[in-house]
Amino acid sequence: MKKLIPLVLFLCSTVYHYAQSSDKFTLLRPYQIFDGETMHTDWVVLVKGQRIAHAGPMNFIMPEGTIIIDLKGMTLLPGLIEGHTHLFLHPYNEVSWENQVLNQSRSERTIRAVNHAKSTLMAGFTTVRDLGTEGSMYDDVGLKESIEKEIILGPRMIICTRALVTTGSYGPKLSPDNQNEIGAAVADGHEGLIKEIRTQIGKGADFIKLYADYRWGQNRLAQPTYTQNELKLAVEVTVSSGRKVVTHAVTPEGMRRSVMAGVSTIEHGDMGTEEVFQMMKEQGVALCPTLAAAESILTYSGWKKGIDTDPQRISDKKKSFALALKLGVTICMGGDVGVFSHGDNAKEMELMVEYGMKPIDVLKSATSVNADVFGYGDKIGRIKKDFFADLIAVSGDPSQDIKNVRKISLVMKGGVIYKN
């Protein structure tokens, strides 16, 4: 009998999670609420079904049968939004990127992705923007649909399927005699770009990602890949479908071409200059800095943070991030998760504070800013009437100590409670 009790409790809790998705009312009473922009100390949130029915002072009569959840000493926030993840990758110190792309079966990678999705949700990230399957073709489409159908647990997914690259620029790099599947889709020139972009959209892409530069120059130095006109064409074709374009860009020229082409976000931006960041500010192009990926990769190579001198890559990251902040560039929160462990997404938020961003601004970046930049600002990222009831509760005040975002007490997505 004693052995049966934990099993029964587990089964009951599982049923409870899904029972919460009915049209019943749930009232959340925390100590304070961060609504995506401002902190409030006299608010409650009433949830009906998948949506927020009320967010504000308790100036109404509770509907009969309302379930009340007291969250004493806790901060309620919108579900966090991970701006740069790869659910089909796992940490490079476990298996290198090349070995994952070349040697792991797609079935294994999908199974891993299912686990990664659950870990991400349980860490309080109720939405992710996935920046490419890296060799797993269009498997992110099935993963997204399986989450939406409640077959598996995971966050809302915004996907690009396969990133676009130029011939010869991307990896894995093998002998010239070897023919191998690379981790992206090759698209060259006018016809190639149009066809590949429309293929990705037809397969289910929510946005298009291109590599505006990559390590294909002499001695593997990063150099631009697509021309200015090619990037402009890619944006024109994509925007006509109501979608956005993002680029991987670390060089000033790759970033400049991306801004001039009209992309939505630039990923990484390691070597961004004052001129480029000023252009981004003026054109409304956001930066997703991926600080945690850089630190993780160097740690795998033997760098001991706090003991060893900062490598050049870290110095570049700190300089570019500080410059972007100073010039008022919109900053997205995205860590390039998959390089490091899924579920450890908060690592990027902690580094953003360490590199000079205020905790309250990091919270905005991971909620309302990401939602607006990605084109979902009318649905998620804020605690607001009629928005999806994607909510998390954490112990303490993350606007004072960002590490508190790890102290998850409640996770709700679409009115369904997954952790309480």
Residues 123-134, mean pLDDT to the nearest whole number: 98
Site of tokens 């590199």: 355
Q: What is the pLDDT of residue 182?
A: 85
Q: What is the pLDDT of residue 14?
A: 42
Q: How far apart are CA 226 and CA 213, in angstroms?
A: 7
Beta bridge partners of 223: 214
- Mean pLDDT of the chain, nearest integer: 94
CA distances from 74 to 142, 301, 365, 387, 399 (A): 36, 39, 20, 21, 12
Phi then psi for residue 376, to 5 deg, are -125, 25
Q: Which CATH number fits domain 80-374: 1.20.120.1200, 3.20.20.140, 3.30.1490.190, 3.40.50.300?
A: 3.20.20.140
Second CATH level (architecture) for the domain 4-79+383-419: Roll (2.30)
Q: Tell me the pLDDT tens digit for each residue of 97-124.
A: 999 999 999 999 999 999 999 999 999 9
Q: How far apart are CA 263 and CA 366, in angstroms?
A: 20
Question: Do 4-79+383-419 and 80-374 share a fold?
Answer: no
- What is the side-by-side strand order in the sheet with 265-268? 185-186, 164-165, 207-211, 244-249, 265-268, 286-288
Q: Which of 3, 61, 48, 40 is nearest to 21 (CA)?
A: 48
Q: Tell me the pLDDT tens digit for each residue of 272-328.
A: 999 999 999 999 999 999 999 999 999 999 999 999 999 999 999 999 999 999 999
pTM for this entry = 0.94
Domain ranges of the chain: 4-79+383-419, 80-374
Q: Which of 245, 339, 258 is nearest to 291 (CA)?
A: 339
Task: List own/partner pairs for 41-50 with CB under 8 A and 24 or more apart.
Answer: 45/76, 45/383, 45/389, 45/391, 47/389, 47/391, 47/412, 47/415, 48/23, 48/24, 48/415, 49/21, 49/22, 49/23, 49/24, 49/389, 49/415, 50/21, 50/388, 50/389, 50/414, 50/415
Residues 52-75, mean pLDDT to the nearest whole number: 96
Residues 39-48, mean pLDDT to the nearest whole number: 97
Q: How far apart are CA 113 and CA 309, in angstroms?
A: 35
Q: Is the dihedral of CA 245, 246, 250, 255 positive or negative?
A: positive
Q: How far apart are CA 15 and CA 11, in angstroms?
A: 6
